[in-house]
Structure 1
Amino acid sequence: MEFSHNDNNDLPLTKFESMLKTNHVLFFDSEEFENIIHHYLNQGKIALAKKAIKLGLDQHPTSINLRLFKVEVFVFEDKLNEADTLLNELYNLDPMNEEIYIQKANIFSKKDEHQQAIEVLKKALQLTDDVIDLYSLIGMEYLFLDQFEDAKTYFMKCLESDLEDYSALYNIIYCFEFLNQNEEAISYLNTFLDKNPYCEVAWHQLGKQYFVLDEYKKALTSFDFAIISDDTFVGAYLERGKVLEKLNRFDDAIENYTITLKLDEPTSFALLRIGTCYEKLKKDDLAIQFYNRTVHEDPLLDKGWIAITKYYNRKKNYPKALYFINKAINIDSENVKYWKLYAQINQRLKLYEEAERGFKKTLELGNYELNTWLSRGDLLIKLGEPQAAIYNFEQAIEFYSENAELEYRLAGLYFSLHENDKGEFHLKNGLKYNEEYAFIIEELFPEISNRILVKNLLKAHL
């Protein structure tokens, strides 16, 4: 039983807490202790639960249920050996108690021995008529093993036993999605909806499956039914808005996103999508208003800062774009996307040292895209730092071997430093990998392309 302060059921709890304050020991029957402990565990008040277990066992030392709570706390605290020892004692006393098997499975699960946990839970199934929780636990263990078909089977058993077990429904759809079985998910959801036609969660999930398959009209119909089933379902309005955007019905999308702002606290996602829709409708003042609201609502949402930065980028208002991306970097200096934009904007502003710094930071944060290496290296060439450029391109070759664009750049750099043997080596590599990129020599190193050695090498291959 869960205690509630709105009725008289909390009398044992009040009495227990009063006892703790006065140190005057009062008597409770074992069931009252069980309810008190259950309440504290649900509230996450482990210290109070442990006090109740100790006092309960002092008064009822033979109670198996109270000792099972002790096992549960041991498991929570990762005292798995103590839990296992106590469980073995309890098993000898009551081998038909399914809760003993559940806690044993919990220990196996904690040890990442999920197959053993499943075997124990299946034994527990034979001891009880209350199977729904056990089906769910078995399903979760199969998820830990990435055995999605088996997991799906057990979550389906949960839902067959209780049509309103939406947690099981979400897990079933998760399994379908992981297995890329969108069509099968649609078939399953339609069958489920035949039995439970007003289940807004199922309609919502059905719409998401149709959306993945680009069947936007069917998705729209599904979200309509979700809203008919529950006209306060924020998720359905958000998904409906996304579909309407795909159908280029931006005014209708804005209407759906706006409804969510009235139903619940404004979400940065809805504000961002409204801004995007207004930009598509060329209502720039409203677009920028909602982009600003997005970053104000959730300064940690990178999509908001990126949207407002790219907006000014598209308008070629690079100083304003730089202003916003600097604000974003001040909030999260480890975001690769921010640094890439920072580098690109500075490059357009001809602030080459800052642009190079941006690309360098992007690489340091693990973004090893070829274009990042090329852009940074070309900036180092422009800044008159050939050795740094060489080091940059040689690092890049570790990730992109046999890449002509890198080889031609290295050839030009080595020739410019009069290291002709290395220059010739890289030029021949470039010509071998892709002759079409030979223009890089003339474009980036015009003085090199006129040298006799280089001309002869090019003439021999082109």
Structure 2
Amino acid sequence: MKQNPSRNDKEEIRELLRLFENLKNGRSQSFLEEESFEKLVDYFDDKEDYPQALQAAELGIEIYPYSSVLLVKKADLLLATRQYKAALETLDQAELLDHNDINLFILRTDAYLALDQQEKAVELLEEGLLLFNGEERLELLFELADVYDDYEEFEKVFDCLKLILEEEPTNEEALYKICFWTDFTGRNEESIKLHLSIINDNPYSELAWFNLGAAYQGLKLYEKSIDAYMYCIAIDEKFDYAYRNIGDAYIRLRKYKDAIEMLEKVLELSRPEEVIHEAIGYCYDRMGQYAQARFHYRKASHMNPEDSKLYYKIACTYINESQYESGIKQLQQALRIHRTQPEYNLAMGMALVEIGEYKTAIEHYANVIKSRPKNVKGWSAILECMLKADLLDNADEYALAAYEATGSKPVFIFYRAAIFFALGKTKQAMTQLEYAMAKAPKLIKKLIELQPKLMQHPQVVDIIARYKRSRFI
């Protein structure tokens, strides 16, 4: 009959604990081998019972004073309990017994970092790189990469990962990590060269193909990135991040239909995500398929009801279809979350203008101006609303304020001219028009757009003709 290993392990540890208690209580008849002390230390360490683990290590060292393994375990426990100097002293003792143990380097590094002695940690690991080969050398390189990461020497993190892959091109941990650090450091050209070399010897490494695609994407070489990702999914058809990145690349190329196909594949392969539905919605939006865009924006908003941007995007699809009332309802939800967001207030103002709610529209445009006083759009919108609604009492004050706030943008002189024409103050209007034409004659288009009938005004036509003859327009 086959015995249960787990049950045997439990019985063994139970017996070891009994013998350990006897030894602690001075019962000399009990005896534990060196390996038994190691198991006890690990048992207490797993339970985070550090006092007991340290006691087991120290008792074991007392009986087996030449055990470098127990000394290393003790040092590890001292580190866990923040006794860094004591840990270093213990590691010095262990080194006398076995100077080739890689744990000496790793634990010393941890102690130096805890004591904020980064230079010593780096020096120690670089020394270790000269002593160790194979897996142990790679382990030290990973450790060194972590040290550089902690101290924000990010270029050197990339260097360490590159060295690992030059020695072991199929190391999965390094392949996963270097993708992030390539993007973070912008060392895309180096990454391309490295991964082409890896692929040359390991053509079925889906991670290498993925990283190659990501590096091309970082250089905005989207066609090449898509080709690399396609090889990746040919090797592993369930590599969802490759489909995700292909979708992004197609969006950059404005190939929205292809992007949707890839992003829908992501939804098939992984848990639905807000960002994927939002991206699909964006593609349909750009294709003018607003109902489909809304469907996916709504899916995204159900996953994250506090994301005001999604309500804004839904609102824009309604506004694009001239469904202003529905758009306003969505904007109200967005504004409940972020009341002062300029884009939401601007869109709300535009929608309200379309249904004739001019005074409320002006309130929203005022919010835009308050948030972004130097932005031309908000000032232009409020002035156009005032002109359209014939709410001109304070309009010239707003136009003058806009001119000053935006650094004397000449377009607002044309707005002043339009306001004076609308008020029937022809003399003041002509003065402003002359001044505006002297500043920026090409912007006469804005005045004509605001008041097309002015093209029938003899004095206006005369001024325009004069500047045309001067070749200013």
Please state which band the TM-score falls in when normalised by the shorter chain: 0.5 to 0.7
Match of 1:66 in 2: 74
Compare 247-256 and 132-141 and name the one that shifted more. 247-256
Compare 254-263 and 239-248 and name the one that shifted more. 239-248
Q: Distance in 2 between matches of 1:127 and 1:270?
A: 48
Task: Figure out how many residues of one structure are paired with residues of the other and give that number.
Answer: 412
Q: CA RMSD in A?
A: 5.1
> Relative to structure 1, is the Cα distance of residues 340 and 440 closer, same or farther in structure 2, using a 3 angstrom cutoff?
closer
Q: TM-score, normalised by structure 2?
A: 0.66
1:106 aligned residue (84, 107, 113): 113
Q: Give yes or no for contact 1:136–1:155 (8 Å, CA) kept in 2.
A: yes
Q: Distance in 2 between matches of 1:247 and 1:434?
A: 36
> Relative to structure 1, is the Cα distance of residues 280 and 439 closer, same or farther in structure 2, using a 3 angstrom cutoff?
closer
Shift in Å at residue 154 of structure 1? Answer: 0.9
Compare 339-348 and 387-396 and name the one that shifted more. 387-396
Match of 2:85 in 1: 85
One-letter code aligned to 1:260: V
Q: Distance in 2 between matches of 1:356 and 1:10?
A: 77
Q: Distance in 2 between matches of 1:8 and 1:360?
A: 74
Shift in Å at residue 53 of structure 1? Answer: 0.9
Match of 1:233 in 2: 239
Match of 1:78 in 2: none
Shift in Å at residue 234 of structure 1? Answer: 1.1
Q: Give yes or no for contact 1:377–1:393 (8 Å, CA) kept in 2.
A: no
Shift in Å at residue 361 of structure 1? Answer: 4.8
Match of 1:218 in 2: 224
Q: Give yes or no for contact 1:288–1:308 (8 Å, CA) kept in 2.
A: yes
Q: Distance in 2 between matches of 1:440 and 1:285?
A: 34
> Relative to structure 1, is the Cα distance of residues 114 and 283 closer, same or farther in structure 2, using a 3 angstrom cutoff?
same
Shift in Å at residue 369 of structure 1? Answer: 4.0
Q: Give yes or no for contact 1:118–1:138 (8 Å, CA) kept in 2.
A: yes
* 1:346-385 correspondence to structure 2 within 5 Å: 346-359=352-365, 361=367, 369-372=375-378, 375=381, 384=393
One-letter code aligned to 2:377: N
Match of 1:451 in 2: none
Shift in Å at residue 354 of structure 1? Answer: 4.2
1:118 aligned residue (122, 126, 144): 122
User: SS state of the match for residue 274, structure 1?
Assistant: helix
One-letter code aligned to 1:258: E
Shift in Å at residue 227 of structure 1? Answer: 1.0
Deviation track 1:250-300 (CA, whole Å, cap 9, x = no partner) reads: 554433333322222222233234334445565554443333222223334
User: SS state of the match for residue 122, structure 2?
Assistant: helix
Q: Give yes or no for contact 1:98–1:127 (8 Å, CA) kept in 2.
A: no
Q: Distance in 1 between matches of 2:323 and 2:235?
A: 46
User: SS state of the match for residue 131, structure 1?
Assistant: helix
1:256 aligned residue (242, 248, 262): 262
Deviation track 1:387-425 (CA, whole Å, cap 9, x = no partner) reads: 99599659945xxx4654578889999xxxxxxxxxxxx
User: SS state of the match for residue 206, structure 1?
Assistant: helix
Shift in Å at residue 320 of structure 1? Answer: 1.4
Q: Distance in 1 between matches of 2:433 and 2:44?
A: 76
- Does 2:293 correspond to 1:296? no
> Relative to structure 1, is the Cα distance of residues 219 and 440 closer, same or farther in structure 2, using a 3 angstrom cutoff?
closer
Shift in Å at residue 170 of structure 1? Answer: 4.3
* 1:241-280 correspondence to structure 2 within 5 Å: 241-245=247-251, 250-279=256-285
Compare 250-259 and 380-389 and name the one that shifted more. 380-389
User: SS state of the match for residue 333, structure 2?
Assistant: helix
> Relative to structure 1, is the Cα distance of residues 435 and 141 closer, same or farther in structure 2, using a 3 angstrom cutoff?
farther
Deviation track 1:93-147 (CA, whole Å, cap 9, x = no partner) reads: 3455213322134325xx5x75554334334545655232332232344456654
Shift in Å at residue 244 of structure 1? Answer: 4.4
For structure 2, list consecutive stretches of 5 or more residues without a partner in the other structure: 19-23, 26-31, 62-70, 420-431, 452-465, 467-471
> Relative to structure 1, is the Cα distance of residues 363 and 105 closer, same or farther in structure 2, using a 3 angstrom cutoff?
farther
Match of 2:457 in 1: none
Q: Give yes or no for contact 1:339–1:361 (8 Å, CA) kept in 2.
A: yes
Q: Distance in 2 between matches of 1:244 and 1:271?
A: 16
* 1:85-234 correspondence to structure 2 within 5 Å: 85-94=85-94, 97-107=104-114, 115=119, 117-125=121-129, 129=133, 130-143=136-149, 147-234=153-240
> Relative to structure 1, is the Cα distance of residues 200 and 363 closer, same or farther in structure 2, using a 3 angstrom cutoff?
farther
Match of 2:331 in 1: 325
Q: Give yes or no for contact 1:232–1:263 (8 Å, CA) kept in 2.
A: yes
Shift in Å at residue 323 of structure 1? Answer: 1.4
Shift in Å at residue 84 of structure 1? Answer: 3.9
Shift in Å at residue 197 of structure 1? Answer: 2.0
For structure 1, list consecutive stretches of 5 or more residues without a partner in the other structure: 20-24, 40-47, 75-82, 414-425, 446-458
Q: Distance in 2 between matches of 1:157 and 1:371?
A: 52
One-letter code aligned to 1:121: L
Compare 403-412 and 54-63 and name the one that shifted more. 403-412
Match of 2:39 in 1: 32
Q: Give yes or no for contact 2:38–2:57 (8 Å, CA) kept in 1.
A: no
Q: Give yes or no for contact 2:214–2:225 (8 Å, CA) kept in 1.
A: yes
Compare 89-98 and 184-193 and name the one that shifted more. 89-98
Q: TM-score, normalised by structure 1?
A: 0.67
Aligned-residue identity in percent:
19
> Relative to structure 1, is the Cα distance of residues 443 and 321 closer, same or farther in structure 2, using a 3 angstrom cutoff?
closer
Q: Distance in 1 between matches of 2:129 and 2:440?
A: 65
> Relative to structure 1, is the Cα distance of residues 402 and 395 closer, same or farther in structure 2, using a 3 angstrom cutoff?
closer
